[in-house]
């Protein structure tokens, strides 16, 4: 079934309820690699219920799969990859809360019959008690097999431009061979990341790490280096996904610090491949 542009642009859901507590907050932190060293007391705040703090990028997994906004899009999900992820935090993300989620399609762009389609979805999380906005997420889906549906070709969000000078900082984060299995427990059960047969059907030699796990790992690098473990300094975290990571590889994040903006990109050390590009972390 081909994409129906008019129908897709009307797709939305409002007031979908989702909750999380300390268990989910700690599990997410472990899923992106915190507490590799159980004696690192600086990281305890993210994985121990005593004065627990949420990692900002956990916002991307809250209410995972609760909305049906994309259900009638007509895209081939086996050919889908995450293109970009943008996150704006209006308030620090709490370690436990109940929220209402509003989601809508804000753009659909036709790159051509053999070039795929780009679909942009906005998701807003509101605290159920106060109705205050906690965060706004804008995610771009690249549907590799769904171009040629007749939508507009131009207008997709422009990526952040990285500085041309050498990076100011570099931080290595390992991933475990079983990382995708741990991260999947935060919500994304896509078999592409765990089932070798499904990975081969999608054109990969073996399961790949969730793009949002790589995204969270880059946030871990910024928290550990630039923020000196004060994660609540982060008010925005945007990135473009450029290549997959295989679980067990080492992610090296290069950073440029210019006042309240940290530009970044991440590479796989073993293959010298850029996996996240055009990164922009905003500090409050």
Which residue matches tokens 């900082």? 169
The conformation of residue 92, written as its DSSP 8-state character, comes to: P
CB 11 within 8 A of CB 68: no
Q: What region, left, alpha or beta, does residue 151 occupy, with left being phi > 0 and alpha being psi -120 to 50 degrees?
A: beta
Who's near 27: CB < 8 A, 6+ residues apart?
182, 185, 186
CB 98 within 8 A of CB 22: no
Who's near 22: CB < 8 A, 6+ residues apart?
49, 52, 95, 96
Query: Distance between CA 30 and CA 15 in Å, rounded?
Result: 29
What is the SS3 assignment for 267? strand
Task: Supply 275's token pair.
Answer: 């996996």
Phi, psi of 177 (to 5 degrees): -60, -30
Catalytic residues: 188, 193, 208, 211
Who's near 265: CB < 8 A, 6+ residues apart?
162, 253, 254, 274, 276, 277, 278, 279
């Amino acid at each position: 079934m081909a994409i129906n542009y008019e129908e897709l642009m009307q797709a939305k859901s409002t007031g979908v309820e989702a909750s999380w507590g300390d268990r989910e907050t700690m599990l997410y932190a472990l899923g992106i690699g915190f507490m590799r060293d159980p004696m690192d007391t600086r990281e305890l705040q993210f994985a121990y219920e005593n004065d627990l703090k949420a990692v900002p990028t956990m916002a991307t997994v809250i209410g995972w799969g609760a909305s049906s906004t994309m259900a009638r899009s007509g895209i081939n999900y086996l050919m889908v990859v995450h293109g970009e992820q943008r996150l704006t935090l209006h308030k620090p993300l709490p370690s436990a809360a109940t929220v209402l989620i509003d989601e809508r399609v804000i753009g659909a762009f036709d790159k051509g019959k053999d070039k795929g389609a780009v679909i942009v979805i906005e998701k807003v999380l509101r605290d159920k008690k106060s109705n205050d906005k906690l965060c706004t997420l804008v995610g771009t889906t690249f549907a590799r097999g769904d171009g040629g549906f007749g939508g507009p070709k131009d207008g997709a969000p422009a990526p952040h431009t990285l500085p041309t000078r050498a990076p100011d900082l570099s931080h290595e984060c390992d991933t475990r061979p079983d990382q995708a299995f741990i991260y999947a427990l935060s919500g994304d059960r896509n078999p592409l990341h765990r089932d070798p047969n499904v990975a081969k059907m999608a054109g990969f030699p073996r399961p790949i790490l969730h793009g949002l796990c790589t995204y969270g790992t880059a946030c871990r690098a910024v928290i550990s280096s630039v923020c000196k473990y004060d994660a609540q300094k982060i008010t925005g975290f945007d990135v473009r996904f450029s290549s997959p990571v295989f679980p067990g590889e080492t992610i090296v994040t290069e950073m440029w610090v210019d006042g309240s903006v940290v530009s970044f990109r991440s590479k796989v050390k073993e293959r010298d491949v850029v996996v996240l590009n055009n990164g922009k972390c905003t500090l409050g």
